[in-house]
Amino acid sequence: MEHTDHSAEHTTEHHEEGHGINKKTIWVTFGILSALTLVDFAFFFNMDASMSRNLIFVALGIIKSYYIVGIFMHMKYEVKRLAGIILLPFGFILGLVAALLYEGDRWSVIKWFIE
């Protein structure tokens, strides 16, 4: 409730002023994103392809998206309920991907039956 009360005095434009997105934050975020990409390369060249390596890449992608959405797209500074409404559907996508990884080979079994 603090958020909505707080926003009452603000107009819809420029609500982000004074929320700490400044040049330093931007460059630090750029450094973090570049470093994470370099970590990707380190795993790519030093580890053999395997499911655990794939999971590391996906986890790094999710960390990168946290910084892009949170800092660059300003989601960290928005009203929490807005962030929740926009981000919740991504939980469904993750659920779909998990279900397909767990049950995905059923497709080849069905194909085998048909043939």
Report the nearest approach of other proteins to the CB of residue 61 (Å): 4
Residues 6+ apart with CB under 8 A from 81: 3
DSSP state letter for 12: S
Q: How far is Cα 33 from Cα 29, in angstroms, rounded to an integer?
A: 6
Asked if residue 82 binds other proteins (CB under 8 A), the reply is: yes
Count Cβ neighbours within 10 Å for each residue of 28-46 and write b for 16 or more, e otherwise: ebeeebeeeeeeeeeeeee
Report the nearest approach of other proteins to the CB of residue 98 (Å): 11
Q: How many residues does the chain have?
A: 115
Asked if residue 4 binds other proteins (CB under 8 A), the reply is: yes
Asked if residue 81 binds other proteins (CB under 8 A), the reply is: yes
CB atoms within 10 A of CB 64: 16
Asked if residue 46 binds other proteins (CB under 8 A), the reply is: no
List of residues contacting other proteins (CB under 8 A): 3-5, 7-8, 10, 12-17, 21-23, 26-27, 29-30, 33-34, 37, 40-41, 44-45, 49, 53-54, 57-58, 60-61, 64-65, 68-69, 71-74, 78-79, 81-82, 86, 89-90, 93, 96-97, 100-101, 104-105, 107-108, 111
